Amino acid sequence: MRDSAQDRVSAAMLAVSRADFLPASQRGRADYDGPIRIGFGQTNSQPRTVASMLRLLDVQPGQRVLDVGSGSGWSTAILAELVGPSGQVIGVERVPELVERSLKVLAARAKASAAACPTPEICQAQPGVLGWPEAAPFDRILVSAEARELPEQLVEQLAVGGRLVIPVRKTMMLVTKDADGIAVTHHGAYVFVPLIED
């Protein structure tokens, strides 16, 4: 991980208000360092956990990033800050209401902001498809839901030299890919909503 990863992640998280991505009834809890329910059985992840995952992901300017289980769109917006104006971020979410809500928040944020970062795309997940293979490969993939096993579909969408961060059976995994294959390292225990893979 590059030395500046911690500072870059902190700056990106400060630039993106968590409150904007929460339901109105929950906005007063935006500073709470824990998961917050956003409806439809989903949560906005604990900020400390998001920061840890983003530091592992080590997103660099200009990269193409996939955010699987984008939920409220908060992490997707943070990723857009990290890739900057020359990068691309695609969020994929299964819950149509969350897709609609996050698109509205991101559009309002883009309109109100003079920031030079791209507006992320949020796509409705397709039945039987994990990730967004039509736009692969991705330099970085962030998964904010817990898988039962490491999903081969996502590994296939990762570019050579890429990094995938995903919780699998309550363990945070970092998957790195090179020309010879993948390497997996474990980075602590976490609890997430389940990843729907059908």
User: Over the stretch 171-191, which tens digit does the pLDDT of each residue have?
Assistant: 999 999 999 999 999 998 887
Total Cβ atoms within 10 A of residue 192: 21
Please, which residues have CB within 8 angstroms of residue 72's CB and are 6 or more apart in sequence?
21, 22, 38, 42, 44, 98, 101, 102, 105
DSSP lists the bridge partners of residue 165 as 142, 174
Predicted local confidence at residue 5, as pLDDT: 66
Q: Residue 171: how many CA atoms within 13 Å on its side-chain side?
A: 11
Regions of the chain with pLDDT less than 50:
1, 3
Catalytic residue annotation: 45
pTM of the model: 0.90
Handedness of CA 80, 83, 85, 90 (dihedral sign): negative
Which of these, 115, 131, 123, 98, lies nearest to 21 by C-alpha position?
Answer: 98
Q: What is the pLDDT of residue 3?
A: 47
Structure confidence at residue 1 (pLDDT) = 46
Domains and CATH numbers, the chain: 5-189 (3.40.50.150)
